[in-house]
């Protein structure tokens, strides 16, 4: 079990659903389309989005015509996902309670299992064993993360503020390593990593909201004030026409179910 899987991954997001839904970045269309094309997903497929949170990734696939079942153990996050509409005329994901290590789904039901911005909270071995069980024989698992690209000056300065939180330092994984478990698992084969560029333009409110949507954001009033003031100063330094942009590398780790 990973250290993060022991760090109350269920409870630590309680109270964050609204901010998470409003301020977290989505994923680049190119990455979502790559997964759909790679897996030939369509209206007859089932994509299971494990640890789906407020449904950010679930809706992106559903809006492209793919049936999506989101699995999320945090009731508040799941309720927010269910209450958030998709684009007009598109499919609506369904959501149910469950954990990555025990989804409650039948054997061999999924064409693809996705875990977006979530796998590092799971017990990696138990979760991959469960994914192998619920995937069809030809199924694939896709682990997806937005990882800050601190080669960008503004994003690096933002990251420096984030790392003033000891919990952030303990929680954030080294960039580029988050999905390494899939390469070591005997349950999957043909593993590969694909990276896409992504950008999140935000105003001052969005920048502060993005920071405080994280599970490791401070909750002590004095620390909240310090973070807020630092973020406002950062925004003032870098804003152009009232906006700044956080840059990300969106990393996909894909692997085929081994028979």
Say how far apart CA 52 and CA 220 lie, in whole Å: 28
Say how far apart CA 144 and CA 56 lie, in whole Å: 12
Q: How many CB atoms lie within 10 A of CB 160?
A: 12
166-212: pLDDT as tens digits: 888 888 877 778 899 999 999 999 999 999 999 999 999 999 999 99
Stretch (H or E) spanning 183: helix 181-184
Say how far apart CA 198 and CA 128 lie, in whole Å: 27
Structure tokens at 224: 């909240």
41-74: pLDDT as tens digits: 999 999 999 999 999 999 999 999 999 999 999 9
pTM beyond 0.85: yes
Nearest CA among 6, 240, 16 for reference residue 121: 6
Domains, the chain: 4-148+174-199+247-257 (3.40.50.150)
CB 81 within 8 A of CB 51: no
């Amino acid at each position: 079990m990973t250290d993060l899987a022991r760090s109350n991954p269920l409870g630590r997001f309680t109270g964050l659903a609204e901010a998470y839904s409003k301020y977290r970045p989505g994923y680049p269309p190119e990455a979502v389309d790559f997964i759909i094309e790679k897996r030939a997903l369509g209206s007859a497929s089932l994509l299971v989005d494990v640890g789906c949170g407020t449904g950010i990734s679930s809706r992106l696939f559903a809006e492209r015509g793919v049936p999506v079942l989101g699995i999320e153990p945090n009731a508040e996050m799941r309720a927010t996902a269910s209450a958030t509409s998709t684009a007009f005329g598109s499919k609506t994901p369904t959501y149910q309670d469950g954990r990555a290590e025990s989804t409650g789904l039948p054997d061999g039901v999924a064409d693809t299992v996705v875990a977006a911005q979530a796998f590092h909270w799971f017990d990696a071995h138990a979760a991959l064993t469960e994914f192998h069980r619920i995937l069809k024989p030809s199924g694939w698992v896709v682990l997806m993360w937005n990882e800050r690209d601190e080669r960008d000056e503004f994003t690096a300065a933002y990251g420096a503020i984030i790392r003033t939180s000891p919990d952030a330092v303990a929680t954030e994984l080294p960039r580029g390593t988050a999905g390494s478990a899939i390469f070591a698992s005997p349950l999957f084969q043909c593993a590969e990593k694909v990276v896409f560029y992504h950008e999140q333009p935000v105003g001052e409110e969005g920048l502060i909201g993005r920071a405080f949507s994280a599970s490791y954001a401070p909750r002590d009033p004095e620390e909240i004030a310090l973070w807020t003031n630092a973020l406002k100063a950062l925004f003032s330094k870098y804003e152009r026409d009232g906006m700044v942009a956080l840059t990300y590398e969106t990393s996909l780790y894909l692997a085929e179910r081994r028979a």
